[in-house]
Amino acid sequence: MALSLEDLLTQARRPRILVLGDVMLDRYVWGSVERISPEAPIPVLSVAKTEDRLGGAGNVAAMLATLDAHVALASVVGNDLEGRRILELLDAARIETDSIVRLDDRPTTVKQRLLGRTQSRHPQQMVRIDREGCSSVEQPAARALLACLRRRLDRVDLVVISDYGKGIFEDRLLAQMITLAQAAGVPVVADPAPNADYARYGGCACISPNRAETARALQRPIDTPEEGLAAAGDLLALGIDGAAVTLDRDGIAWADTRGNRRLFPVRPREVCDITGAGDMVTAALSYALASGADSAVACRLANLAASLEVQRLGVAPLPRDVLLAELQSDLTARPRVGRSSKIVTPAELRVQLHRRRAAGEQVAMTNGCFDLLHPGHVASLDFARRQADCLVVGLNSDRSVRRLKGPGRPILDQQARAAMLGALACVDYVVVFDETSVRDLVGEVLPDVLVKSAQYMDHEVIGHEIVERYGGRVVVSPTEADYSTTGLIERIQQLATRSHAVA
């Protein structure tokens, strides 16, 4: 029986994958800019924190590990502090490092980004500082990488080539690697280097270039999905068994030597940051194919993962439970009035908030039933959003509202209420909770600011003790006079009674 997408995301099996490629250290320096230097007309960055992340092939490996694959990485790093830092990050991500070659005469590739914020606005990248060596690796290192591949081929389900053009994949070495994998019956998925001759990936089971890269390789524009599909087919003439051309808003165009030609459209999303989307496509395709899924399921998973990735700030590996929750919400929980991408599951929310906090942002949270949305609700939500960089709204489910308000409520179901909240510019995320009390959700979100209506005292706000324990704030919002859902319902009933009496 063919493996479905849901089966793929719930399987107990952990596919074994070897990633070969250019590993980098992505270093982020976060701070604020409040003045111009007296020495030159340049901003002064006051550093708040520094964060190291895996980049390049390391990012692909980390994404695969988060999908719960068993991952090993073969690459080269310098015998320096940055190389040792990469090894620490790989160990923390549960990625095997015994195939990493350390070189005395080659620096570890580091991409350092300086990000500054001013007047509490979102941080902006000010400058990127690169340190790298892009010359081809010397023969001893090449032989060591080839030996790593030979040693592991009988223990892996798939090999990923993550080629960033930094010197690891000299043409002869790359051809040897692909030939060895073919002889062992192990498929190879390649993410091609920018401006590379794609003939060098001949023998691969699949390559995953994007629209612009494919256009350069074929020397023609790709403006429509149909042109993308034709381009995917043309790439097969280079000796490649399958091509997944990513077309951003138009999804993925797939073609293979078995005669399959198909466009896989993607559901439109609000794009926050495209960083990491290409790596996520490569990781998702590789995970699916290594697990025995067919090309259709692999492309659907890649579309799902990449569309969620672009909603996150920065690179954000996505665990399977987040992807499964999104898949199930698409299939069974889509509201009648149209589902906003702001409506998230608790698992999705965890990933979203992790990325925002990594960017130095603060999170505000409020909650309520929001039945019959009125100007009082809008004013309080707008106030709550102004307390931080983003606003999470906890929404009582239908069952929760009935327990709180009685059998006649809510007037609108939870999907409709969530959709209306998601349509407001001041709301960033809506998450539905089923409990009568919001305390557990507060403990999961851990907001920097917890906001509630001024009809409550600080000590009466549910969850206040959780927030205050870690130094967060509890803020009460002003209320709009003469507005309440109960009052609106009573007024409607009175008008209906009068109309009936006149009739």
Alpha-carbon separation of residue 390 from 133, 367, 448 (angstroms) = 40, 14, 10
Residue-by-residue DSSP string for 309-365: HTTSSS-----HHHHHHHHHHHHH---TT---TTB--HHHHHHHHHHHHHTT--EEE
Side chain identity at residue 433, one-letter code: F
Residues facing residue 31 across a β-bridge: 47, 116
* Cβ count near 258 (within 10 Å): 8
Do the beta carbons of residue 225 and residue 263 sit within 8 Å?
yes
Residue corresponding to tokens 């690169």: 130
Q: Which of 279, 389, 428, 448 is catalytic?
A: 279
In sequence order, what are the residues at sequence separation of 6 or more whose Cβ sits closer than 8 angstroms to the Cβ of residue 167? 22, 133, 134, 135, 136, 137
| Known active-site residue 273 | no
Q: What is the C-alpha separation between 393 and 199, in angstroms, rounded?
A: 51
Task: List 264's β-bridge partners, or say none.
Answer: 252
170 and 135 in contact (C-beta within 8 Å)?
A: no
Got the DSSP string for 110-171?
A: EEEEEEEE-TTPPPEEEEEEEE---SPPPHHHHHHHHHHHHHHGGG-SEEEEE--SSSS--H
* Closest C-alpha to 215, from 201, 205, 227: 227
Residues identified as active-site: 279
